[in-house]
Amino acid sequence: MAHRKKNRNVGVIGVGQTKHSSHREDVTQPEMVHEAVREALEDAGLTMKDVDCIVHGNMELFEMIHQPDLWHELGTGAYGKNAFRLTTGGTTGATLFCAGDNLVASGMYDVALVIGFEKLQEGHTTGGITNMADPLWFRSLQTGALTGTCAYDVIQEFGEERATRAAMMYRIIMDQNACLNPKAHRAFGLEWDQMDHLIKTSAKLIGELKIIDMCSQSDGACAVIMACEEKAKALSDKPVWVRDHITVHREETINILGYDQATKEKMTHRFAAEQLFKRNGITNPVEYFDVFEMYDPSSWWGVDWMREFFLLEGDEHLKLVEEKEIAIEGKIPVNPSGGVIASNPIGATALVRPAEACLQVRGDAGAHQIPRPVNHALASGFGGTLWTVLILLEKELGW
């Protein structure tokens, strides 16, 4: 399909995150954002003087602040700079990343500081998410972001035992990764021998979605600095190149359930992957990628969506889980950071995905670093009514 040549390349040269947590009563929002900004600037070896554009976002109805970037100027360093604000719900962080890429690639800006944050403890998370529904109808029916429909679909297809075990295996792998990530919010230290017990006893929230499966609610911020090729090469030893990205939204409703296989819609995840891989000449994603930081709001979705993102069929994705190929030492590590189930400061979460992927490409992820060269990385964002943002990152130019 037609795709224009990128005007100029963009590299990520700095990454910063707060330690995601459930209680950041020790900081105000601008202070929390500032922690991530400082870390990113230090990581890049820059000061605010070197930045010419700030891109900021979150899901404002959680904290009920109107245009928070105005207040956050105290912590973002936006004073005197060009500043943009984009918000697209759960995908916000990834959208901000794409926006940073667009703004720098366009030639309008050379160095962009991209910031996503959320202080969920300051608001009412479920209330905030429920307010996403149409006020005249679905708002009275929706239960925040919870739905058991995905679990139902996977169970229908593969049978309860296999499906539940795969979801729990996925969960434990994610937790083991989180235990190696000092920035992760929740790291329980789950052991393999707890699997049966957890499956039996973890409290059900809705349908087959259990509390252990569900992502956390966190306070946190993430900042990423991106620069045009010339500056990226001058300022960094190991810029991580943004090769391409795609955003795919869906209509307002969530009637994508699988109970009518003949009319079941293609998931945006698969559509995004198909478009992105085709226009970049990637024919075997599982082979091509060295890491996938996927936005996994629950272990069920994590398992299910791998089939969509990797363009697999049948039970290939279950096998990746069952054979632990998605673990850090596996063939295609997924969420070495612990993923969204471990840390979910919503406005930042989708930015943490490419940020963590960049750390992996650079070899800077510390204890949760993948022990092999990471040259090609994939990161995804999720939100809204099953929207997807998919980002392609490379260690070397010249793809």
Residues 106-135 touching other proteins, rule: CB under 8 A, are 106-108, 124, 126-132, 134-135
- Residue where the block lists tokens 């590299």: 11
Applying CB under 8 A, among 46, 50, 97, 102 the residue interacting with other proteins is 102
User: To the nearest whole angstrom, how small is the minimum distance from the Cβ of residue 146 to other proteins?
Assistant: 7
Among 66, 281, 283, 313, binds other proteins (CB under 8 A): 66
Number of other CB atoms surrounding residue 65 within 10 Å: 17
Nearer to other proteins (CB atom), residue 187 or residue 334: 187
What does the block give as tokens for 241?
């190149």
Distance CA 211, CA 346 (A): 18
Q: Determine, following the binding rule CB under 8 A, whether residue 220 of this chain makes contact with other proteins.
A: no
Q: Tell me how far, at minimum, the Cβ of 37 lies from other proteins, in Å.
A: 14
Task: Choose, by CB under 8 A, the member of 15, 83, 226, 282 that binds other proteins.
Answer: 83
Minimum CB distance to other proteins, residue 59 (Å) = 6
- Subset of residues 133 to 172 that bind other proteins, contact rule: CB under 8 A: 134-138, 140-141, 143-144, 146-149, 152, 156
Based on the number of CB atoms within 10 Å of its own CB, is 17 exposed (0-12), middle (13-18) or buried (19 or more)?
Answer: buried
Using CB under 8 A, pick the residue from 161, 230, 251, 396 that binds other proteins: 251
Task: Tell the smallest beta-carbon distance from residue 365 to other proteins (Å).
Answer: 24
Q: What single DSSP character describes residue 358?
A: H
The CA-CA-CA angle for residues 389, 392, 398, to 5°, reads: 155
Task: Pick the closer one to other proteins by CB: 43 or 175.
Answer: 175
Kindly compute the dihedral angle of the four CA atoms of residues 100, 80, 235, 398, in this order, to the nearest 10 degrees.
30
- Is 281 near other proteins (CB under 8 A)? no
Q: Rounded to an integer, what distance in angstroms lies between the CA atom of residue 359 and that of residue 117?
A: 19
As measured in angstroms, the least distance from the Cβ of 293 to other proteins is: 20
Q: Give the DSSP H or E segment for 391.
A: strand 387-394
Q: Which is nearer to other proteins, 73 or 293 (CB)?
A: 73
Q: Which of 48, 61, 180, 286 binds other proteins (CB under 8 A)?
A: 61
Q: In the bound complex, what is the minimum distance in angstroms from residue 103's beta carbon to other proteins?
A: 5
Shortest distance, CB of residue 347 to other proteins, whole angstroms?
11
Picking from 105, 124, 144, the residue whose alpha carbon sits closest to that of residue 6 is 105
**Which residue from 257, 287, 366, 373 is in contact with other proteins, where contact means CB under 8 A?**
257
Reported as type and span, the H/E element at residue 253 is: none
Residue span 165-204 as binding mask against other proteins, x where in contact by CB under 8 A, dash where not: ---------------------x-xxx---x--xx--xxxx
Instruction: Choose the binding region for other proteins from 242-250, 303-311, 321-329, 374-382 (rule: CB under 8 A).
Output: 242-250
Three-state SS at 343: coil
Rg (C-alpha) for the chain, rounded Å, is 20
Query: 42, 45, 47, 80: which one contacts other proteins (CB under 8 A)?
Result: 80
**150 Cβ partners below 8 Å, 6+ apart?**
209, 298, 300, 301, 304
Q: Which of 97, 8, 39 is nearest to 357 (CA)?
A: 97
Select 127 or 366, whichever has its Cβ closest to other proteins: 127
User: Is residue 94 a contact partner of residue 391, using CB atoms and an 8 Å limit?
Assistant: yes
For position 233 contacting other proteins by CB under 8 A, the verdict is no
